[in-house]
Amino acid sequence: MSAFPVTRLRRLRRTPALRSLVRETRLDLDDFVMPLFVCPGEGVDRPLEGLAGIAQRSVDRLCDEAELLAGLGVKAVLLFGILESKDEVATGAWDDDGIVQRALRALRGRAPELVLVTDICLCEYTSHGHCGLVRDGEVANDLTLEFLARTAVSHVEAGADVVAPSDMMDGRVAAIRAALDAEGREQVPIIAYSAKYASAFYGPFREAAGSTPAFGDRRSYQMDPPNVREALRECELDLAEGADVIMVKPALPYLDVIAAVRARFDVPVAAYNVSGEYGMVKAAAASGWLDERQAAIECLTAIKRAGADIVISYWTKELAAWL
């Protein structure tokens, strides 16, 4: 390869058209998933504090929003339930009349073309806020599996197209796969939150979902941030258990993990651009310190460039307008 002055990399940066001709990574709305929060009531559309631009909505309002998103070209949403009444066994998660189940039934009719993904976890529904059932002060892995599987089956019966377990219990993908198959739902894919780290960047989400653990933290089940080889093991195990898509979460502080997962596995890779990543940019933009649109597109492009096929992001709706 010849060097300067024969080679001048600036030649291909001269105009927008030249730059776009040689652009290696592009954002396509088809790859994005918009998270949505559903709560009880009617006519509720309450902005979430700490998650600027995102609201919790009752089923009726959620349906309006879903219709709007579909109209903007958004292809997929990820549903989270927000509840006030919680108990030790997370009844609200697996109850056939639970908030997510009701939302799914309503959405199925209103936005038939949207891919409805649901988050499978107990933390929004347990009184202690942990992602599994607690026995003797510890999150009990095997005991939790049955409840996660029950939740997944109940979501699918209500109309979910895809389930996404985010709890980080060992063996949950296998438990969910077996339970779905036993109900004749072998066609429903699982997006596994495989490499989900114990991150400070979930702060705004937990505030919004009221799911901050009442005691301790999530470090005994979510991954230790310094580890990347372990993330590959998590992915390998989830694939062996039947995951169709593997996920890395959060995204921006873990781009190296996304790249490592991409290099190792030939399956679709998802990345979750979490609440804290979004919130930081929102806050800086609100202070006039950076341009939100530019910063957001740069962040999302970085996640794609690292190797993610699917990106879950609170910017999805705005991205639809930006692209």
Of 215, 265, 225, 260, nearest to 244 (Cα)?
A: 265
Question: Per rule CB under 6 A, is residue 37 in the interface with ligand PBG?
Answer: no
Pairing of the two strands 191-196 and 115-120: unpaired
Our CB check for ligand PBG shows the closer of 205 and 254 to be 205
**Helices 99-110 and 141-158, axial angle in degrees (round to 10):** 30
What is the contact mask toward ligand PBG in residues 140 to 169, using x (rule: CB under 6 A)?
--------------------------x---
Question: Per rule CB under 6 A, is residue 274 in the interface with ligand PBG?
Answer: yes
Stretch that binds ligand PBG, among 115-123, 230-238, 253-261, 303-311 (CB under 6 A): 115-123
Question: Per rule CB under 6 A, is residue 123 in the interface with ligand PBG?
Answer: yes
Are 207 and 82 a contacting pair, CB within 8 Å? Answer: no
Question: Per rule CB under 6 A, is residue 39 in the interface with ligand PBG?
Answer: no
Stretch that binds ligand PBG, among 149-157, 174-182, 198-206, 298-306 (CB under 6 A): 198-206
Our CB check for ligand PBG shows the closer of 181 and 217 to be 217
User: Which of these is catalytic: 86, 249, 282, 304?
Assistant: 249
Our CB check for ligand PBG shows the closer of 61 and 249 to be 249
Stretch that binds ligand PBG, among 59-67, 93-101, 133-141, 203-211 (CB under 6 A): 203-211
CA distances from 177 to 91, 138, 244 (A): 21, 25, 10
Longest dimension (CA), the chain: 71
Question: Per rule CB under 6 A, is residue 205 in the interface with ligand PBG?
Answer: yes
- The token pair at 259 is 């790249």
Selected binder of ligand PBG within 61, 128, 155, 206 (CB under 6 A) = 206
Question: Per rule CB under 6 A, is residue 275 in the interface with ligand PBG?
Answer: yes
Nearest approach in angstroms of CB 1 to ligand PBG is 43
* Distance in angstroms (rounded) separating the CA atoms of residues 313 and 248: 13
H/E stretch holding 111? none
Stretch that binds ligand PBG, among 6-14, 68-76, 117-125, 301-309 (CB under 6 A): 117-125
Question: Per rule CB under 6 A, is residue 254 in the interface with ligand PBG?
Answer: no
Query: What one-character-per-residue DSSP string does 101-139 give?
Result: HHHHHHHHHH-TTSEEEEEE-STTTBTT--SS-EETTEE
Are 139 and 221 a contacting pair, CB within 8 Å? Answer: yes
DSSP state of 288: T
Nearest approach in angstroms of CB 250 to ligand PBG is 7
Question: Per rule CB under 6 A, is residue 202 in the interface with ligand PBG?
Answer: yes
Of 245, 238, 147, nearest to 188 (Cα)?
A: 245
User: Which of these is catalytic: 86, 196, 304, 317?
Assistant: 196
Are 180 and 243 a contacting pair, CB within 8 Å? Answer: no
Of 98, 93, 163, nearest to 125 (Cα)?
A: 93
DSSP state of 248: E
Total number of residues binding ligand PBG (CB under 6 A)? 10
- The token pair at 161 is 């197209």
Told to judge if 196 belongs to the known catalytic residues of this protein, a careful annotator would answer: yes
Stretch that binds ligand PBG, among 118-126, 143-151, 178-186, 231-239 (CB under 6 A): 118-126
Pairing of the two strands 55-57 and 45-47: antiparallel
Our CB check for ligand PBG shows the closer of 6 and 175 to be 175
Exposure on the CB side of residue 10, measured as CA atoms within 13 A? 2
Told to judge if 249 belongs to the known catalytic residues of this protein, a careful annotator would answer: yes
Query: Residues with catalytic annotation?
Result: 196, 249
Q: Which residues make up the interface to ligand PBG (CB under 6 A)?
A: 119, 121, 123, 166, 202, 205-206, 211, 274-275
